[in-house]
Amino acid sequence: MKKEEIELQVKAIIDKMRPFLISDGGDLEFVKLEDNIVYVKLSGACQNCSLIDVTLKDGIEEMITNEIPEIKEVRNIDEENI
């Protein structure tokens, strides 16, 4: 599958997850896809949440990697690291 197709699939999955995060005061934004690693930005209540790693790895990453096997990992980045 081409990078553009993977990126579209990732964005569609993120769009499905966003309402759940928004309802808890957080948000999720796709930043980039590089070397089969998805970079996202968790914001709002998610930024300071003690469960951010659980949300990222057991929720977001698991959903994305289950649907798109090419994806190796999902990483949260802050604006300085883009």
Cα 50 to Cα 1, 18, 31, 57, 76, distances in angstroms: 35, 19, 22, 13, 14
Model pTM? Answer: 0.89
Give me the pLDDT at residue 39, please.
Answer: 97
Structure tokens at 64: 């994305």
Cα(50)–Cα(24) distance, integer angstroms: 14
CATH architecture of 3-77: 2-Layer Sandwich (3.30)
Domain extents in the chain: 3-77
Give me the pLDDT at residue 1, please.
Answer: 84
List pLDDT tens digits, range 28-72. 999 999 999 999 999 999 888 888 889 899 999 999 999 999 999
pLDDT higher than threshold 60 for residue 19: yes
